[in-house]
Amino acid sequence: MTRIVFLDRSSIGPSVALTKPSFAHDWVEYDRTAPDLVVERLKDADIAVCNKVPIRRDSIEQLPDLKMICIPATGYDAFDIAACKERGIVVSNVRGYAVNTVPEHAFALIFALRRGIVGYRQDVIDGRWQEAAQFCFFTHPINDLAGSTIGIFGEGALGQGVAHIARALGMRVLFAAHKGVTGLGPLYTPFDEVLETADIITLHCPLMPATRNMIAAPEFAKMKRRPLLINCARGGLVNEADLVEALDKGQIAGLGFDCLTSEPPLPDNPLLKILDRPNVIVTPHVAWASQEAMQTLWDQVIDHIENFNAGRPSNRVA
């Protein structure tokens, strides 16, 4: 009987209905799995379901029965794809499930920061409204989105979803050319020009060697309009120490991050020291996690397992 092991059930919300494959199988799941338990828990598995637990070459070499890894996410940097290809292990990911939830989360951050929502909420809690002695007061800047320029780094489905919302709000949309790349065509604005002209910069690109620390001190120095910086893509795209320094220097107006270089953040992460600022919002990598998106994601996982069992693997990355 096919043995399927889900290594990190807690990476999917508890409200999601975890349907199972229709064919005969043995299903085992764990809330979390430490890296040193991967081999032990997958030793008899035919199929592994795994979101963020690393499965590297040394583990793969000790798992002769493993035939498939199904990833309930789009990113697959936690897995040794080359080793899987060598072994003939099918690796499938899920795609397209976050086309609404991530752009909406990005704009939730943008609205909250652009209109000073966080700061004003705290002011009311602190009694500042009563102290003002009038119907309103002005302790944080408020700016409209209509007429402003948004620079989008990443032109895939999520970047396009952000652009769709932005245009509906009357914003000017720029898609940034890839850093250091020319000749991409008229739909792209040069990388440095987006840095210099955008009021809001939002990241929706994958983390690869070419994009790691894509935004750091030299890029912050070019941000003439003091933009908001939004990251709902991957930690590692932005140098976090340089990010805090840019905020302190006034090179950016604020930041909204849903992902960090290390998740959960390590105690020495510089962002942890500025979380109480009204122009800083950090959310715990939940932009993807609307109820609707998570259910769509899981339905894809089961479809891929069913397809693999039927001899027609789908959404293969290996």
At 77, is the pLDDT very low, low, confident or very high (cuts 50, 70, 90)?
Answer: confident
For domain 101-282, the CATH superfamily is NAD(P)-binding Rossmann-like Domain (3.40.50.720)
Q: Is 92 helix (H, G, I), strand (E, B) or coil?
A: strand
Q: What is the DSSP letter of 238?
A: B
Residue 186 has pLDDT above 90, yes or no: no
In this structure, the number of other CB atoms found within 10 A of the CB of residue 284 comes to 12
Q: Are 161 and 183 in contact (CB under 8 A)?
A: no
In this structure, the number of other CB atoms found within 10 A of the CB of residue 317 comes to 17
At 185, is the pLDDT very low, low, confident or very high (cuts 50, 70, 90)?
Answer: confident
Per-residue model confidence (pLDDT) at position 95: 95
Q: What's the token pair of residue 296? A: 């769509």
- Sign of the CA dihedral with 143 first, then 149, 154, and 160 last: positive
d(CA 296, CA 314): 16
Mean per-residue pLDDT over the chain, rounded: 97
Q: Are 248 and 234 in contact (CB under 8 A)?
A: no
Nearest in space to 268 (alpha carbons), one of 250, 286, 248, 244: 244
Domain ranges of the chain: 2-97+292-309, 101-282
Q: Rounded mean pLDDT of 268-283?
A: 98
Beta strands in 198-301 (DSSP E): 200-203, 228-231, 254-257, 280-282
Residue 182 has pLDDT above 90, yes or no: no
pTM over 0.85: yes
In the sheet that 149-153 helps form, which strands lie side by side, from edge to edge?
188-189, 172-176, 149-153, 200-203, 228-231, 254-257, 280-282
Q: Are 202 and 151 in contact (CB under 8 A)?
A: yes
Does residue 164 carry a catalytic annotation? no
Q: Is-same-fold flag (2-97+292-309; 101-282)?
A: yes
Q: What's the token pair of residue 265? A: 């953040």
Q: Which among 263, 277, 292, 316 is annotated as catalytic?
A: 263
Q: Which among 41, 105, 114, 285 is annotated as catalytic?
A: 285
Does residue 285 carry a catalytic annotation? yes
Per-residue model confidence (pLDDT) at position 180: 87
Per-residue model confidence (pLDDT) at position 281: 98
Per-residue model confidence (pLDDT) at position 246: 98
At 173, is the pLDDT very low, low, confident or very high (cuts 50, 70, 90)?
Answer: very high
State CA 250 to chain mean position distance: 25
Q: Which CATH class is domain 2-97+292-309?
A: alpha beta
Per-residue model confidence (pLDDT) at position 183: 79
Residue 303 has pLDDT above 90, yes or no: yes
Q: What percent of the chain has pLDDT over 90?
A: 96
Q: What's the token pair of residue 57? A: 């070459």
Does residue 105 carry a catalytic annotation? no
**Buried b or exposed e, range 165-204, using 16+ CB within 10 angstroms:** bbeeeebebbbbbbbeeeeeeeebbebeebbebbbbbbbb
Angle at 25 (CA atoms; ends 21, 31), nearest 5 degrees: 75
* C-alpha distance across the termini of the chain, in Å: 24
- Please report which helix (H) or strand (E) contains residue 292, including its range: helix 291-309
Q: Rounded mean pLDDT of 76-89?
A: 96
Residue 241 has pLDDT above 90, yes or no: yes
Instruction: Write the burial class of residue 223 (CB in 10 Å: 0-12 exposed, 13-18 middle, 19+ buried).
Output: buried
Per-residue model confidence (pLDDT) at position 312: 98
Residue 2 has pLDDT above 90, yes or no: yes
Q: Which among 105, 114, 204, 234 is annotated as catalytic?
A: 234
Per-residue model confidence (pLDDT) at position 197: 98
Residue 10 has pLDDT above 90, yes or no: yes
For residue range 145-166, what is the model confidence (pLDDT) as tens digits? 999 999 999 999 999 999 999 9
Q: Tokens 């102290």 label which residue?
A: 131
Residue 192 has pLDDT above 90, yes or no: yes
The one-letter code for the residue type at 122 is Q
For residue range 108-137, what is the model confidence (pLDDT) as tens digits? 999 999 999 999 999 999 999 999 999 999
Bridge partners (DSSP) of residue 70 are 49, 92
Q: Is 57 helix (H, G, I), strand (E, B) or coil?
A: helix
Nearest in space to 29 (alpha carbons), one of 8, 15, 1: 8
